[in-house]
Amino acid sequence: MADAVPPSSMARAFTQTNAGYSLGAILSPPLGAALLPHVGMRGLFWLAFVFFIASTCVLAMLTPQRPVAQRVRLNLKEIVADRGLLLWTGLFIVAAWASSALRPFLSPYFEDVLGLERPWILATSSLLALGEVVLTPLLGHLGDRDSPRALAGGLWALAVGCLLLLFGGVWGLVPAALFLGGDRVSASLFRSTIGKQVIVRRGTVFAGTLVLASLAEALGPLAGARLYALAPQGPIWLAMGLASILGGLAWMKRGKT
């Protein structure tokens, strides 16, 4: 994607493609809940298997896309040493860690603190995906003009969602879930912003940044579990605080990327 679109459209390309994933996630939780009594958990796994096979077949039919040959030859050390790349990669890692410390504990929070039953908890999963779809056009378009502003908006939307979860009660759940969609949009914006920092060896750079972010996502639930054991609101406070700080750091870079 980074090679196929110009830098001026990269943010929209990344966010809209990821929003396509969320479109399916809007309908899948209620669909799974409706099918579960009839086909059982094993049936749901078979259904998911069929859809994954279908997706793989679609990919197999696509025309091969190879990176555009670049005349510029840069040393990998020069790419890694780029301050802009290091800054956005670092922020991406922290944001991924904060997100993974929050996401697994939303459902237990809804059940333990808000007293929601499981069908309603599944419905909130659809609202989270819907929030991403709603925020994608605005933040994606803004990201093509000024990536730091868009990132700040996505991260602050996550912080607002956390604030509504803490103090809005059941009545604040719907807007909170929609604002929490800024979490995934921000991840797409981080990827597009990192893609704008490099000209060659984008595959190597993307692989390295995603490995680091994935390691952070593997460690985040450990911190979230410890905080949830102390207080169910702990992971929400952590995500809200880090999202606010990261959004502020991104805002300070507005107009420079």
Q: What is the pLDDT along the chain (257 residues), one digit of tens a residue?
A: 767 777 778 788 888 887 787 788 788 877 888 888 888 889 999 999 999 999 999 988 888 776 655 545 555 555 554 567 888 899 999 999 999 999 999 999 999 998 888 778 878 888 888 888 888 888 888 888 888 999 999 999 999 999 999 998 888 888 998 999 888 889 888 888 887 777 667 777 888 888 999 999 999 999 999 999 999 999 999 999 999 999 999 999 887 65
- List domains and CATH numbers for the chain: 7-252 (1.20.1250.20)
114: DSSP letter: S
Return the pLDDT at 70: 53
pTM across the whole model? 0.80
How many whole angstroms separate alpha carbon 185 and alpha carbon 179? 11
The two three-digit tokens of residue 74, written as one number: 């840069």
Return the pLDDT at 36: 83
How many whole angstroms separate alpha carbon 227 and alpha carbon 235? 6
Return the pLDDT at 81: 46
How many whole angstroms separate alpha carbon 83 and alpha carbon 46? 47
Return the pLDDT at 77: 53
Please say whether the beta carbons of 160 and 244 come within 8 A: no
How many whole angstroms separate alpha carbon 99 and alpha carbon 58? 31
How many whole angstroms separate alpha carbon 158 and alpha carbon 180? 5
Rg of the chain, C-alpha, whole Å: 19
The two three-digit tokens of residue 141, written as one number: 């378009």
